[in-house]
Amino acid sequence: MAAVLSIEALRDKIRAIEGRGVEPTKVPTGVPEVDELVGGLPVPGLVEVSGPRGSGRMRVVVAIALRLAARRSAVAWIDPLGLLYPPGLAVLGLDLSQVLVVRPPAEQDVWACEQAARSGCFPLVVVVDPPLRKHLGARLSRAAEHGSCAVLVLSERTSRELPASLRFLVQRDRLVVVRDRQGAPGRTGSLPGRRPA
């Protein structure tokens, strides 16, 4: 118990040094597969969903975006590589008039993510396969805290440079919790939605 307390004290100290004062709370997403597994997304917080393209990472994100759309909340999709294909989102049921896509040029991608998150206009900001840049994680964490939102980063590989409070790995049609600052890692669950082929 003493060790746990000292780690918590250390985290508080780091938060104080970084000027952060808000402990994220888990907000249920309305997606049973996610909520039963981890209790929701940390807000404010950084969430990473990693796995190869085509593994089903987007099924998590689209399921959450659909629930948010039902509550009249827009999601910002930051797409630095221009990969997002809106007809695919429409097929999955997202109303495209509620979809905001930002395709920043390479040199402004971190800035664009930061602005969308900091603004507080979106409960969820999704960043699709961002090129890993120096300080990306720290900047996004601070922006999420400033805008009281969750920033969900889709990546092909788990990146330790990204200080995510919740980290999923998508593997063989399963959602694996790799890291959960407010819970135990290692749990697995099924992915929301159906496999297409």
Partner 1 sequence: MRSPRWLVLHLPAFRVERCGHGATDLVALTVEEHGGTRLCAVSPEATARGLRAGMTAAEARSLEPDVKLEPLDAAAEDEDRMSLLRALERLSDTLWPLADDAFALEISRVPRGDATLEAALALAAELGHVGYAVIADDPDAAYALCSLGSRALVVEPLGTAAAIGGLPVQSLRPSVELLHAWREVGVASIGDLARLPPSAVRDRYGPEGVRLFQIARGKPTDQVLRASITAKGGTVAQARTVLPGPTTTTQPLWFAIQGLIGKLAEQVARQDRAIVRLLVQIELERSLSASFRVRSGRPTASADRLRALVRPRVEALRVEAPALEVTVVAEETCPLRSWQASLYDRAEAQEPLPDLLARLSDALGEGAVFTPQLAPSWRPERAFICSEPLPLRLTARAHTIVELPQRPILLEATPKPIEVRTEADRPVRVRFGEGWEVVLRARGPEHLSGDWWRPNPFDRAYWVVDFGIVAWLYLDLSDGRWFLHGWYD
| Positions that interact with partner 1 (CB under 8 A) | 52-59, 62, 66-67, 69-74, 81-105, 108, 111-112, 115-116, 118-123, 128, 146-149, 154, 172, 195-197
Q: At closest approach, how far in Å is the CB of 55 from partner 1?
A: 5
Q: Which two tokens stand for residue 46?
A: 């950084």
Q: At closest approach, how far in Å is the CB of 153 from partner 1?
A: 14
Q: Would you say 108 or 188 has its CB closer to partner 1?
A: 108
Q: Would you say 4 or 159 has its CB closer to partner 1?
A: 159
Q: Would you say 6 or 25 has its CB closer to partner 1?
A: 25
Q: At closest approach, how far in Å is the CB of 52 from partner 1?
A: 5
134 phi, psi to nearest 5 deg: -60, 135
Contacts of 13 (CB under 8 A, 6+ apart): none
Q: At what angle do helices 109-119 and 136-147 cross, to 10 degrees?
A: 20
Q: At closest approach, how far in Å is the CB of 197 from partner 1?
A: 4
Q: Please state, in angstroms and rounded to a whole number, the distance separating the CA atoms of residues 4 and 125.
A: 32
Distances (CA, A) of 55 to 85, 128, 144, 175, 177: 16, 14, 26, 10, 15
Q: Would you say 14 or 22 has its CB closer to partner 1?
A: 22
Q: At closest approach, how far in Å is the CB of 194 from partner 1?
A: 10
Q: Please state, in angstroms and rounded to a whole number, the distance separating the CA atoms of residues 68 and 1.
A: 38
Q: Would you say 1 or 41 has its CB closer to partner 1?
A: 41
